[in-house]
Amino acid sequence: MLQSVSQTRNDGVVSHVTNVANDVNDNIAAFGREIEALRREIEPQLGAEDSQHIRAIDKLSKRLEITGRMLLQFSFEPLAFSAGTLALWAHKSLELMEIGHMALHGAYDGLEGADRFESKSFHWKAPIDEASWRVGHNVRHHQYTNIAGRDPDLNFAALRLSPRIAYRAAHALQPITNVFSWFGFATAINLHVTGILDIYLEKGEPTAVPDRERATVRSAQRKFASKWLRYHAREYGFFPMLAGPFFPKVLLGNWLSELGRDVHAAAIIYCGHVGATDFAGDFEPSSRAEWYAMQVEAARDVEMPEWLSILCGGLNLQIEHHLFPRLPPNRLRQIAPRVREICQKHGVQYRSDSWSRTLTSVLSELRRLSSREAAAG
């Protein structure tokens, strides 16, 4: 839908192209009005229902953590150990996505009964520095979604997620490095948002760390290490030590739950934008309506049942999330059918498919982008 229309010197063609451009602009304007009307309708409804939802998810997460840790501490056979690891994985997945991601977006700011989830004071049970993430994700990624050179998420570590990103030799390995990034995905995010990757990989793009002065580098290192060390000391030191002679068993269960959470999170987060529309670095939406259309076309949805969407934190609904980044995930699930209908009505490309097909497409695109010859679609 978002396109530039060039004119030619043939008068008839010029007239035709101008009419097409006007039709496109009128359609986007109408699309924007309907999306804005949906926003004005849904935002006043936020309140007790949303506070109740996040408190219920938080209670479930805590029960899963207690269950998981107790089973790992006292299990003597593989079945209980497996159940404990699975419960702990579910807890960590909920904390990372349905709870933490949206709390730090400000989805619950100002809602009565949701004080614990205020974005500025929320403590994330994940090895990611909260303040760095709010800037790197909320401001830079959401403001410049899929704009090359401005969205830091298009150039993630040694991964090239858009053909508009300048090719480097390391990109040839990304079918392999991509897999490794999944095994420590939360740590990779922390390295990314604190600027450590920018400092040491010198990617040549606008970075989270604008200079490499000693004080700036130390600040980035401190932000990364403070949260990462405290989190992993708890998971790989404190809780295993409580098990005494069963230290190795608890350590293994905690590591497996971390690994499961990271692979699960990467598998849904990568599906959100890779292979969607990307934009040149000088792209500027000319209106709020065009910005809405850009957010839709720069994202992809993944179709799944509600229980699985909760375990994914609503990140299967990246289109709706990028249109309304401060809406709680339960509201994203509520409005998704209406957003799809509005997009289809006005010809804005709404990408949505099953998880298996979307993930297969993403992995194929990552392999394609490992080639220097990969061109913009």
The burial class, CB within 10 Å (0-12 / 13-18 / 19+), for 212 is: middle
Q: What is the pLDDT of residues 49-70, one digit of tens each?
A: 999 999 999 999 999 999 999 9
pLDDT at 21 over 50: no
> Residue 52 contacts by C-beta under 8 Å, 6 or more apart in sequence?
113
Instruction: Determine the pLDDT at residue 154.
Output: 87
More confident residue, 124 or 155: 124
Across 123-152, average pLDDT: 92
Q: E-strand spans in the chain?
A: 155-156, 159-160, 301-303, 352-354
Residue whose structure tokens are 């403001």: 143
Confidence grade of residue 10 (pLDDT, cut at 50, 70, 90): very low
Lowest mean pLDDT among 60-69, 211-220, 245-254, 367-376: 211-220
CA 15 remoteness from chain centre: 43
Lowest mean pLDDT among 60-74, 86-100, 103-117, 200-214: 200-214
Bridge partners for 317 per DSSP: 301
pLDDT at 9 over 50: no
Instruction: Determine the pLDDT at residue 174.
Output: 87
Task: Take residue 38 and report the two structure tokens written for it.
Answer: 């949906």
Decide: helix, strand or coil at residue 10.
coil
Asked if 280 contacts 2 with a C-beta cutoff of 8 angstroms, the reply is no
149: left (phi over 0), alpha (psi -120 to 50) or beta: left
In the chain, domain spans: 45-377
Which helix H or strand E contains 201, and what residues bound it?
helix 196-201
pLDDT at 268 over 50: yes
> Residue 157 contacts by C-beta under 8 Å, 6 or more apart in sequence?
177, 181, 188, 191, 192, 197, 201
Instruction: Determine the pLDDT at residue 309.
Output: 97
Task: Provide the mean pLDDT of the chain.
Answer: 89
Decide: helix, strand or coil at residue 279.
strand
Task: Take residue 240 and report the two structure tokens written for it.
Answer: 């295993």
| 177-184, long-range: CB < 8 A, 24+ apart | 178/363, 178/366, 181/156, 181/157, 181/266, 182/262, 182/263, 182/266, 182/267, 183/259, 183/262, 183/263, 184/262
Angstrom CA distances, 222 to 129, 185, 195, stand at 10, 19, 11
